[in-house]
């Protein structure tokens, strides 16, 4: 549903993590070799990469789309970067920073000589213009503004120094500042309005957008020859001349186009095609992603889903193992918490705790008074069928429509009717705003546990804010102390599990496939592909 942000020095193999030898044929690295293990990286060439969703807007400050993160990570730079191996925050456009003890003020010093691709200097005033713009309601930011919750303004203290202030502690801000969602855009381009930047964002990154994004077709970006300010002190421009991002929503079309040579690499490879591509000599690269797993949320304003017993009955009727094994061949991991296992402060005591128990589901539903069955086999109470309404985003990614249909069958086995209504993204957003749903299925990629505040905080998808959960999440966002953050997020995860406010299904995995000539493809701290180090072997 959205894309977002990551931690822990204990990541050991999270990114490019082996999900089994059958899944990972190769993992991108900074290997300075050609396909045969000899030779040096080559300069030049364009990479053609197929994406599986058609974004309505490619401005990362406006869009919540994970696909936009993939497209624009090379277009916009960030204040800081996050090491995908250790989770450490390192310099990028900011060379240094200090944080107040209460995590309300962040003071940065900027790298000298950085410019946007239109020639505008990237200075302290430019950063202020970006942050002010993100929180401006006219921008209609759907995700970036969450990272700046409580934003109190940016004070410019010279050309290359500034302080960002928050009205409340914002411990996750540095990590958020490493993502493309808070990527920096030219102030000159921002004056053209959100509609213009939706089609052609102007950043300071190693690639520039050539022409306006064309819906259902894609966008091209080209190498910026004068780029000299990469993450962690890097100075090298890209080796590729550019990238062509093509919109190909159909899984079969993407895979076939890769095999025909029309494409160099593709996003979100169906798990059923992994072995076939590996056998044919293609690279299959993957990264387990942190944040909110693919999860079902109840609208707790609707009866009987306001009752924990009803929610627990649904949870007990859903067999996550059947889902991940029958649909994904075991290549997507069973989720046990509302934080993915790759996320810092994941509650390890929930790991492996199975909830599937149809007998318990039946007992709970009997106890709620749904003891009668109608002619179709569904449970009823006072003549009313027990029904869940799920407005399902269409088209879906990663076979999630198939997942919904399997859940529908699982719930029917205990007498619950699940009504699946395919809807467009705008229609689903209206349902969310009006609360005309019983069930929703978001997932949010984020490298910080503060991701939970978006769905369990004041704007909770459950539409009921639990004060204990909110207090725990607020505590976690208010301290820089890792031990205190661990305790706060552990409490929040346990409370959500005990209340059954949401049902985690599987942790998200980004799976890409590439021709053998593609070298140097790596993943960032969120598990998204990075193209800045890619080169094409001869």
In this prediction, residues 85-108 reach a mean pLDDT of 96
| Arithmetic mean of pLDDT over the chain | 91
For position 259, which CATH number holds?
3.40.190.10
Same domain, 501 and 516: no
Is residue 318 over pLDDT 80?
yes
Same domain, 489 and 530: no
Q: Is residue 375 situated within a structural domain?
A: yes
- Four-CA torsion 123, 126, 128, 133, nearest 10 degrees: -170
CA 123 to chain centre: 29
Same domain, 313 and 395: yes
Same domain, 107 and 56: yes
Domain count, the chain: 2
Q: Is residue 20 situated within a structural domain?
A: no
DSSP 3-state assignment of 469?
helix
pLDDT digits (tens, 9 = 90+) for 140-194: 897 899 999 999 999 999 999 999 999 999 999 999 999 999 999 999 999 999 9
Would you say 6 and 82 are in contact if contact means Cβ atoms under 8 Å apart? Answer: yes
Same domain, 78 and 120: yes
Split at pLDDT 50, 70, 90, the class of 35 is: very low
Same domain, 172 and 183: yes
- For residue 304, say if its preceding peptide bond is cis, omega within 30 degrees of 0: yes
How many C-alpha atoms does 359 have within 13 Å on its Cβ side?
Answer: 0
pLDDT digits (tens, 9 = 90+) for 373-398: 999 999 999 999 999 999 999 878 88
DSSP 3-state assignment of 166?
strand
Same domain, 225 and 353: no
Same domain, 248 and 329: no
More confident residue, 439 or 53: 439
Same domain, 312 and 267: no
Q: Is residue 34 situated within a structural domain?
A: no
pLDDT digits (tens, 9 = 90+) for 446-498: 999 999 998 898 889 999 999 999 999 999 999 999 999 999 999 999 999 99
Q: Is residue 37 situated within a structural domain?
A: no
DSSP 3-state assignment of 261?
coil
- Longest pairwise C-alpha distance within the chain: 75
Q: Is residue 29 situated within a structural domain?
A: no
Same domain, 405 and 449: yes
Please give the residue range of the domain that contains residue 65: 46-288+510-536
Q: Is residue 460 situated within a structural domain?
A: yes
Split at pLDDT 50, 70, 90, the class of 23 is: very low
For position 370, which CATH number holds?
3.10.105.10
Cα–Cα distance measured from residue 135 to residue 166, given in angstroms and rounded to the nearest whole number: 12
Q: Which residues pair with 383 in a beta bridge?
A: none
In this prediction, residues 341-346 reach a mean pLDDT of 96
pLDDT digits (tens, 9 = 90+) for 362-371: 999 999 999 9
Same domain, 520 and 501: no
Q: Is residue 172 situated within a structural domain?
A: yes
Q: Is residue 173 situated within a structural domain?
A: yes
Q: What is the pTM (predicted TM-score) of this model?
A: 0.88
Same domain, 141 and 227: yes
Split at pLDDT 50, 70, 90, the class of 68 is: very high
């Amino acid at each position: 549903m959205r894309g977002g942000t990551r931690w822990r020095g204990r990541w050991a193999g999270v990114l490019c993590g082996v999900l089994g030898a059958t899944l990972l044929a190769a993992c991108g690295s900074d290997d300075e070799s050609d396909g045969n293990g000899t030779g040096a990286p080559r300069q030049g060439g364009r990479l053609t990469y197929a994406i599986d969703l058609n974004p309505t807007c490619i401005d990362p400050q406006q869009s919540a789309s994970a696909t936009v993160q993939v497209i624009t990570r090379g277009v916009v730079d960030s204040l800081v970067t996050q090491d995908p191996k250790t989770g450490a925050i390192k310099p990028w456009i900011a060379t240094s920073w200090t944080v107040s003890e209460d995590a309300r003020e962040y003071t940065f010093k900027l790298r000298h000589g950085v410019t946007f691709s239109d020639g505008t200097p990237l200075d302290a005033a430019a950063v202020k213009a970006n942050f002010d713009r993100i929180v401006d309601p006219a921008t209609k930011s759907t995700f970036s503004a969450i990272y700046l919750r409580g934003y109190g303004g940016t004070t410019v203290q010279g050309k290359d120094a500034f302080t960002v202030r928050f009205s409340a502690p914002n411990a996750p801000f540095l990590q958020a500042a490493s993502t493309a969602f808070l990527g920096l855009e030219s102030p000159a381009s921002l004056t053209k309005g959100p509609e213009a930047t939706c089609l052609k964002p102007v950043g300071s990154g190693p690639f520039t957008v050539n022409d306006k994004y064309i819906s259902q077709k894609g966008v091209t970006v080209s190498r910026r020859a004068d780029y000299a300010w990469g993450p962690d002190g890097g100075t090298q421009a890209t080796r590729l001349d550019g990238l062509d991002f093509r919109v190909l929503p159909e899984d079969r079309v993407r895979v076939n186009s890769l095999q025909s040579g029309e494409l160099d690499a593709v996003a979100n490879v169906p798990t059923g095609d992994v072995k076939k591509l590996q056998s044919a000599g293609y690279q299959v690269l993957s990264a387990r992603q942190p944040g909110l797993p693919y999860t079902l949320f109840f609208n707790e304003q609707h009866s009987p889903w306001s009752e924990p017993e009803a929610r627990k009955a649904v949870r007990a009727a859903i067999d996550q193992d059947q889902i991940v094994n029958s649909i994904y061949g075991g290549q997507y991991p069973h989720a046990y918490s509302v934080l993915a296992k790759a996320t810092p402060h994941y509650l390890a005591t929930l790991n492996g705790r199975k909830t599937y128990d149809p007998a318990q589901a039946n007992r709970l539903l009997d106890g709620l008074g749904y003891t009668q069955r109608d002619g179709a086999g569904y449970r009823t109470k006072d003549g009313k069928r027990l029904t869940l309404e799920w407005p399902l985003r269409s088209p879906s990614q990663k076979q999630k429509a198939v997942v919904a249909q399997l859940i529908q069958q699982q719930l029917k086995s205990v007498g619950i009717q699940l009504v699946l209504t395919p809807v467009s993204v705008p229609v689903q957003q209206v349902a969310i705003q009006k609360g005309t749903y019983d069930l929703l299925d978001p997932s949010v990629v984020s490298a910080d546990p503060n991701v939970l505040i978006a769905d369990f905080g004041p704007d909770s998808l459950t539409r009921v804010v639990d004060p204990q959960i909110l207090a725990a999440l607020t505590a976690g966002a208010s301290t820089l102390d890792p031990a205190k953050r661990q305790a706060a997020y552990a409490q929040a995860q346990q409370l959500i599990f005990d209340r059954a406010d949401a049902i985690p299904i599987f942790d998200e995995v980004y799976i890409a496939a590439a021709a053998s000539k593609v070298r140097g493809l790596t993943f960032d701290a969120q598990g998204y592909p990075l193209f800045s180090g890619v080169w094409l072997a001869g």
